[in-house]
């Protein structure tokens, strides 16, 4: 069972485009769950049923070492375990997912208007890449995050705007202003497979828009917003996300990693630098939060 956990952690980084931060947080969650199963004498993933899962939740809430754990942290833990069981199902290691129907109420605190990298990975990891609609949805939101797109820009993206050889998107933004935005390898793989194997199954009349609904028509901004809201709700994710949150996260993560603010301005398509500078305040707050968390026990 320990090897299954390690294989999954490798999978989310090497195959599912997860970050090392996600690997660490998922690793902690999975080791905690595995430890509980061993305490209960459970030696197979498929032996864990709903009763075991409810017992695990009670364990998290009552054991002294987890006395301060919040509903938000437990919800994130459950999200990681749902993803793990989806992997076990895919690899034919286990049948069923005992965490699918288990949800907890999350506090209604207003969250920052951006996501940490492991939260982005958690969100993107919710989509079933063996399901056509799941694959399409993952492709939409991975592209929106990885390229910092506005909702309207994603909906209006056309096949002719994608340069696979140079890994660039030509984006038409506000005021019909165009910009070039690079995309990373995972986005290229998702887009190429979606366009070749999934989009044609829904297309009824030829058009150039990339993202289509089940009737083959261009996805609307409201449709994409609904898909995101439904994903968060169905997976009981401990986050408040709207489409622009992905764009905010893109900019914040670039600045956190040392990108020049004028480069970020160009990638976002901002006419004025002052518009981009709002993200420097976000990253300052992120820095302070990270520092406080690192030294909270000193």
Same domain, 31 and 166: no
Euclidean distance between the first and final Cα of the chain, in Å?
36
More confident residue, 165 or 293: 165
Same domain, 72 and 154: no
Q: Tell whether 225 is covered by a domain.
A: yes
Same domain, 34 and 132: no
Q: Tell whether 268 is covered by a domain.
A: yes
- Indicate the number of domains in the chain: 2
Active site residue 222: no
Sheet of 168-172: strand order equals: 162-163, 168-172, 178-182
Q: Tell whether 184 is covered by a domain.
A: yes
Q: Tell whether 19 is covered by a domain.
A: yes
Active site residue 248: no
Of 23, 76, 150, 199, the active-site residue reads 150
Of 174, 177, 207, 230, the active-site residue reads 174
Active site residue 28: no
Same domain, 18 and 72: yes
DSSP state of 150: -
pLDDT at 214: 93
Active site residue 33: no
Q: Name the band, by pLDDT with cuts 50, 70 and 90, for residue 272.
A: confident
> Tell me: the pLDDT tens digits for 147-172?
999 999 999 999 999 999 999 999 99
CA separation for the pair 107, 71 (Å, rounded): 7
Question: CATH no. for residue 14?
Answer: 1.10.150
Question: CATH no. for residue 254?
Answer: 1.10.443.10
Same domain, 159 and 200: yes
Active site residue 130: no
Of 138, 247, 248, 286, the active-site residue reads 247
Same domain, 178 and 121: yes
Same domain, 128 and 75: no
- Beta-bridge partner residues of 218: 212
Q: Assess contact for 219 and 213: CB atoms under 8 A.
A: yes
Same domain, 77 and 125: no
What the block records as the tokens of 99 is 């965490």
Q: Tell whether 227 is covered by a domain.
A: yes
Q: Name the band, by pLDDT with cuts 50, 70 and 90, for residue 59.
A: confident
Same domain, 46 and 178: no
Containing structural domain, residue 77: 2-90
Q: Tell whether 44 is covered by a domain.
A: yes
Same domain, 130 and 198: yes
> Beta-strand (E) ranges in 157-223?
162-163, 168-172, 178-182
Same domain, 172 and 34: no
Q: Tell whether 107 is covered by a domain.
A: no
Of 33, 56, 135, 279, the active-site residue reads 279
> Tell me: the pLDDT tens digits for 236-264?
887 778 888 999 999 888 888 888 888 88
Same domain, 287 and 145: yes
Find the helix or strand (DSSP H, E) in which 8 lies. helix 2-14
Q: Tell whether 108 is covered by a domain.
A: no
Compute the average pLDDT of residues 75-82. 81
**pTM, rounded to two decimals:** 0.63
Of 138, 253, 270, 286, the active-site residue reads 270
């Amino acid at each position: 069972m320990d090897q299954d956990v390690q294989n999954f952690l490798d999978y989310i980084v090497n195959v599912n485009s997860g970050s090392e931060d996600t690997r660490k947080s998922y690793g902690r969650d999975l080791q905690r769950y595995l430890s509980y199963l061993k305490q209960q004498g459970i030696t197979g993933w498929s032996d864990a049923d709903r009763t075991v899962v409810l017992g695990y939740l009670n364990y998290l809430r009552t054991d002294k070492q987890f006395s301060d754990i919040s509903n938000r942290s437990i919800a994130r833990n459950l999200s990681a375990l749902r993803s793990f069981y989806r992997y076990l199902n895919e690899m034919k290691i286990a049948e069923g997912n005992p965490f699918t129907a288990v949800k907890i109420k999350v506090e209604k605190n207003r969250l920052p208007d951006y996501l940490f990298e492991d939260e982005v990975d958690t969100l993107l990891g919710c989509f079933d890449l063996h399901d056509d609609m799941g694959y399409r949805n993952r492709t939409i939101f991975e592209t929106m995050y990885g390229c910092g797109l506005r909702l309207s820009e994603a909906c209006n993206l056309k096949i002719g705007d994608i340069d696979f050889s140079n890994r660039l998107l030509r984006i038409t933004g506000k005021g019909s202003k165009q910009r070039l935005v690079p995309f990373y390898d995972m986005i290229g793989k998702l887009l190429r497979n979606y366009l070749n194997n999934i989009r044609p199954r829904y297309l009824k009349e030829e058009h150039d828009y990339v993202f289509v609904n089940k009737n083959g028509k261009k996805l609307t901004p409201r449709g994409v917003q609904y898909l995101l809201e439904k994903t968060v709700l169905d997976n009981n994710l401990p986050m408040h996300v709207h489409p622009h949150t992905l764009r905010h996260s893109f900019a914040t993560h670039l600045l956190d990693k040392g990108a020049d603010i004028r480069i970020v301005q160009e990638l976002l398509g901002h006419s004025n630098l002052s518009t981009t500078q709002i993200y420097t305040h976000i990253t300052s707050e992120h820095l302070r939060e990270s520092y406080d968390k690192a030294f909270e026990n000193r």
